[in-house]
């Protein structure tokens, strides 16, 4: 049997660490050629070195997803290097500012939404432009369980991830008939540097066991558990999956 992403060219954003790095490894193992993007170029290069050891073809592009010209450059670089674009995992994101909504500044709102929501819009726009030229593709956007339900002091993050769900479905409906599938993954809490930096803050002592208890499966998720879902959604095995909200959350949203 062929590997799930055999011969596919895939863009991964937020590839310098966390879920994006795990996705790069999983997609390389599944036979993809990769364009790895992040504004942390050193981190992305470290990911790329591991991907190369797995035998995958790979290019690193320094790109800030909140800047349209850099996202356009990323897609153009992927097509220039590999000749086409078959898939994308739009995963770069930043966490909330942990501020009550009535104290949240416009700058704090923009900081999160410019990356998490506007960044996904720019990625979709340029990836779809490229995919239309070669007859289609598949896109997975990283939303969150917090795109569906909320926690306190994370209004801008919840709004951004809810926006990703709407944007994903809008694109799925608009381009499904042209061979482009678009789905959103909703991770529960995953053990990545984003979460490590949150739970290491003194005001969040005790948060980690509370978070674990919040997942019916009794633990946090691992980056590779999100990566494997993304591999499947980008593969032809998921050929009838379009516009879905795909929870990978240990049951967080089932409670």
Ligand X SMILES: NC(=O)c1ccc[n+]([C@@H]2O[C@H](COP(=O)([O-])OP(=O)(O)OC[C@H]3O[C@@H](n4cnc5c(N)ncnc54)[C@H](O)[C@@H]3O)[C@@H](O)[C@H]2O)c1
Q: Binding to ligand X by residue 113, rule CB under 6 A?
A: no
* Residue 20 CB coordination number (10 Å): 29
Sheet holding 137-142, edge to edge: 58-62, 33-38, 9-13, 87-90, 137-142, 180-187, 245-248
Q: Closer CB to ligand X, residue 76 or residue 134? A: 76
In degrees and rounded to multiples of 5, residue 190 shows phi and psi of -115, 140
Looking at the chain, list the stretches that DSSP marks H as alpha helix, in order from N- to C-terminal side. 18-29, 41-53, 68-82, 106-116, 118-133, 155-175, 193-199, 207-214, 223-234
CA-CA distance, 102 to 60, in Å (whole number)?
A: 40
According to CB under 6 A, which residues from 147 to 176 bind ligand X? none
Q: Binding to ligand X by residue 193, rule CB under 6 A?
A: yes
Instruction: Mark 30-59 with x for binding to ligand X (rule: CB under 6 A) and - for no binding.
Output: --------xxx--x----------------
Active-site positions read: 157
Q: Closer CB to ligand X, residue 64 or residue 127? A: 64
Helices (H) and strands (E) in the chain, counts: 9, 7
- In contact, 73 and 37? CB cutoff 8 Å: no
Q: Closer CB to ligand X, residue 31 or residue 43? A: 43
The residue whose two tokens read 């089932």 is 254
Q: How far is the CB of 201 from ligand X (least distance, A)?
A: 14
CB under 6 A: which stretch of 53-61, 175-183, 191-199, 227-235 binds ligand X? 191-199
Q: Binding to ligand X by residue 189, rule CB under 6 A?
A: yes
Total residues belonging to the chain:
255
Q: Binding to ligand X by residue 94, rule CB under 6 A?
A: yes
Single residue of 29, 33, 66, 235 touching ligand X by CB under 6 A: 66
Convert 71-81 to b/e letters by CB count within 10 Å (16 or more is b): bbbbbebbbee
Helix, strand, or coil here: 42?
A: helix
Total residues binding ligand X (CB under 6 A): 30
Single residue of 4, 11, 18, 74 touching ligand X by CB under 6 A: 18
Q: Binding to ligand X by residue 82, rule CB under 6 A?
A: no
Q: Binding to ligand X by residue 20, rule CB under 6 A?
A: yes
Single residue of 51, 65, 128, 155 touching ligand X by CB under 6 A: 65
Q: Closer CB to ligand X, residue 116 or residue 242? A: 116
Q: Which residues pair with residue 184 across a beta bridge?
A: 141, 245
Q: Which residues pair with residue 12 across a beta bridge?
A: 36, 89
CB under 6 A: which stretch of 50-58, 87-95, 105-113, 236-244 binds ligand X? 87-95
Contact residues for ligand X, defined by CB under 6 A: 13-14, 16-20, 38-40, 43, 63-66, 91-94, 115, 119, 142, 144, 187, 189-190, 192-195
């Amino acid at each position: 049997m062929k590997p799930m992403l055999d011969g596919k060219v895939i863009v991964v954003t937020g590839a310098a660490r966390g879920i994006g790095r795990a996705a790069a490894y999983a997609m390389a193992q599944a036979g993809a050629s990769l364009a790895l993007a992040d504004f942390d170029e050193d981190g992305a290069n470290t990911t790329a070195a591991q991907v190369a050891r797995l035998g995958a073809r790979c290019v690193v592009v320094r790109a800030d997803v909140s800047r349209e010209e850099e996202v356009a450059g990323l897609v153009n670089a992927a097509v220039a290097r590999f000749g086409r674009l078959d898939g994308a995992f739009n995963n770069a994101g930043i966490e909330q500012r942990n501020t009550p909504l009535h104290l949240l500044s416009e700058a704090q709102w923009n900081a999160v939404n410019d990356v998490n929501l506007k960044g996904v819009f720019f990625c979709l726009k340029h990836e779809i432009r490229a995919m239309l030229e070669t007859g289609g593709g598949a896109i997975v956007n990283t939303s969150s369980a917090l795109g569906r339900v909320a926690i306190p002091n994370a209004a801008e993050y919840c709004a951004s991830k809810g926006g990703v769900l709407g944007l994903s479905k809008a694109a799925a409906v608009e381009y499904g008939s042209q061979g482009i599938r678009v789905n959103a993954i909703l991770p529960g809490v995953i053990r990545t540097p984003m979460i490590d930096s949150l739970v290491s803050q003194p005001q969040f002592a005790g948060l980690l066991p509370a978070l674990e208890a919040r997942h019916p499966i009794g633990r946090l998720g691992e980056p590779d558990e999100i990566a494997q879902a993304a591999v499947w959604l980008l593969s032809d095995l998921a050929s009838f999956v379009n516009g879905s909200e795909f929870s990978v959350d240990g049951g967080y949203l089932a409670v």
